[in-house]
Amino acid sequence: MESTMINDEVMQELITLLRENNMKCETNDTFDICNYIDGLQNKISGMQIELDNIQQQLKQMEKDKLVNKLKSQLSKAQTKVSNTFGQIKTELFIIKNSIKSKASNIICDFKKKGRSALNKIYEVFDVKDRLVSMRVKVKESQEDVAHALDKIDAFAVGMSEASHIFKNTFRELFDKKAKDYSKIDKRIKMSDLFKKSWMAKQSILESMEKRIDRAIVKVDSLHKEAELNNMIKLYDRLESRIECTKEAVVMPMVAENEAVYGADAFDKYMENYNATMQSKDKADRIAGNVAAVKNEGKGR
């Protein structure tokens, strides 16, 4: 018998790490998803039993030529459901292996990086697309089973009416009134025996659909928790940077020169120009005096 997810050593270790690191929501979601997957595995085992029972019924119907047409229709439905069921089993197998493999990677990262590795727990259960695909296949099988049940009911009604007509025909031959045998005939019909396994199969498929839906909800919950945690961390980092900026940056108080326009600007220009020319004249006079002193020295 295949081991369950909830009892798998890797999954138990992961759940323990989540619990020890106070990740309550993630712990509960991980446990629930594993539980739902185990439930799907159990339903698949039950489905296989019912498929085997129906196959046995179809073999027994070969001896009765009266039900050959019904047998043909049920055989087609059985083949279709069996093929889809095989795809469902493959999807579940891939989902389980993916979860176990990624869980093992998270545990290895935890040993190297610590608690931060557990923040990627949602990656372990990145299986929503496969769950949705499995759900589509389950719904397809439900439709095929419902179609088979309708065929059995139609066959039963036809056989019952034929039987009642046959009986009343003989009653008329003996000048007796016709009877409504539908209210009298309470025996277990052959069609009821045929329906039993198909109805059990339908019940299993409905239960599988519910478990898949619950697993999808939990997978979405883990992703939302991760998104929320990332948003909180981003907000905390931004807030920390803002506080650091307030402490480190001091705005200098520098007085700017007043702007000058029009006539005032021209007066300012002329003032600067005159000052420049005065400085030039002064420099020329000093240069002339220096030259005179030098010539006087040479004459002596």
Q: Whole-structure pTM over 0.75, yes or no?
A: no
**Tens digit of each residue's pLDDT (9 = 90 or more) over 200-209:** 999 999 999 9
Label residue 2 by pLDDT band (50, 70, 90): low
Domain spans of the chain, in order of start: 9-248, 264-300
Label residue 141 by pLDDT band (50, 70, 90): very high
Q: Taking residues 161-185, report their average pLDDT.
A: 56
268 Cβ contact list (under 8 Å, min separation 6): 260
Q: Taking residues 218-232, report their average pLDDT.
A: 80
**Tens digit of each residue's pLDDT (9 = 90 or more) over 253-293:** 444 455 444 555 556 656 665 666 565 565 556 555 545 54
At 177 the pLDDT is: 65
User: What is the three-class DSSP state of 186?
Assistant: coil
In three-state form (DSSP H/G/I as H, E/B as E, the rest C), the secondary structure along 8-70 is: CHHHHHHHHHHHHCCCHHHHHHHHHHHHHHHHHHHHHHHHHHHHHHHHHHHHHHCCCHHHHHH
What torsion do the CA atoms of 3, 5, 7, 11 make, to the nearest 10 degrees?
Answer: 130
Residue 112, classified by CB atoms within 10 Å of its CB into exposed (0-12), middle (13-18) or buried (19+), is: exposed
81 Cβ contact list (under 8 Å, min separation 6): 51, 141, 144, 145, 148, 201
79-93, 175-189, 225-239: which has the minimum mean pLDDT? 175-189
In the numeric block, the tokens 């940056």 are attached to 249
